[in-house]
Amino acid sequence: MTSPIMRVRDVTRSYGDVVAVDGVSLDIAPGELVGLLGPNGAGKTTLINLLVGLRRPDSGAVELCGGNPRDEATRQAIGVTPQQTALPEAWRVGELIDFIAAHHPNPTNRHDLLVRFDLQDLCSRQIGGLSGGQQRRVAVALAFAGNPRVVFLDEPSTGLDVEARHQLWSGIRAFHEEGGTVLLTSHYLEEVEALAQRVAVVDRGRVIADGSMRDVRRLVSLKRVSLICPELPSIPGAARVENNDGHTHVLTNDADHFVRELVTSGARFSDLEIRSASLEDAFLSITSKHVA
């Protein structure tokens, strides 16, 4: 097997009494596009900060591109977009790209970068005059300016509208298709589903599931049964029941059993639909099993 480009070995990191990352081990191979998924405060940002050398682990080891993430040589090979960025307002977009590029031996061609992230029209604009979404697109594109081997994106498309998000995804995909490695966190499950081949679910500082999108879904093998049913009888095996838009949604591991029992009960229902659970369903199901 190819050596991992990121290696996290039994890493723990606390802030005072809060254990943000708790004994995590994770290997990522060159060329993988991995999504870190987890609720607020799960430890995703801390894990990224450990990987990019902004934080040191209390115990355990982190290796990036075969070296120490805090070494200059390693840092040359990576690009990072943190969750929040404060770009210099007076600078023009093109100047900022050139500034970042000047710190790397073999940077990405400026024109190619602008095209890839659909920023051509913004190149000569001052950062301070851009909308929040435009600034975010610039911040993400900057992670790619140094022609990195590995890119870390913490909530890349926060605040973007649908079109801008899709544009961003296509830029990220193009980098990945050329062999680049990406680790991203996202609250948009749709984003992780659209981009990542592999998803690591983080909860309370631990990686509680790690596999392909299909693996993570299969892990819970949930089905979502949606129906209109004014008086839903109590049927064993329903993992979760929620009501919205006049429909009742039932998550169950055995949709066939649920439907058989529903019909046998004689309850009136309509609009029955059975679908595979979404990643969000799978995620909630996995994390709720970890509630102490």
Contacts with ligand ATP, residue ranges (CB under 6 A): 15, 18, 20, 38, 40-46, 83
Please list the alpha-helical segments (H only) found in the chain. Answer: 44-51, 72-76, 93-101, 110-116, 132-142, 162-177, 189-195, 213-220, 255-265, 279-288
Q: Please check whether residue 204 is in contact with residue 290, taking contact to mean a CB–CB distance below 8 angstroms.
A: yes
Nearer to ligand ATP, 108 or 210 (CB): 210
How far apart are CB 43 and ligand ATP at their closest, in Å? Answer: 4
Q: Please check whether residue 179 is in contact with residue 13, taking contact to mean a CB–CB distance below 8 angstroms.
A: no
Pair of tokens at residue 99: 């500034």
How far apart are CB 14 and ligand ATP at their closest, in Å? Answer: 8
Distance CA 196, CA 181 (A): 11
Nearer to ligand ATP, 43 or 148 (CB): 43
Q: How many CA atoms lie within 13 A of 145 on its CB side?
A: 24
How far apart are CB 97 and ligand ATP at their closest, in Å? Answer: 27
Bridge partners, 61 (sequence order): 9
Bridge partners, 242 (sequence order): 249
Nearer to ligand ATP, 69 or 146 (CB): 69
Nearer to ligand ATP, 38 or 69 (CB): 38
How far apart are CB 184 and ligand ATP at their closest, in Å? Answer: 12
* Residue 287, CA distances (Å) to 3, 37, 209, 213, 290 in order: 30, 11, 9, 16, 5
How far apart are CB 175 and ligand ATP at their closest, in Å? Answer: 22
DSSP 6: E
- Apex 213 CA angle, 207 and 214, nearest 5: 120
How far apart are CB 188 and ligand ATP at their closest, in Å? Answer: 12
Nearer to ligand ATP, 40 or 234 (CB): 40
How far apart are CB 290 and ligand ATP at their closest, in Å? Answer: 14
Q: How many CA atoms lie within 13 A of 101 on its CB side?
A: 17
Nearer to ligand ATP, 258 or 283 (CB): 283
Nearer to ligand ATP, 83 or 131 (CB): 83
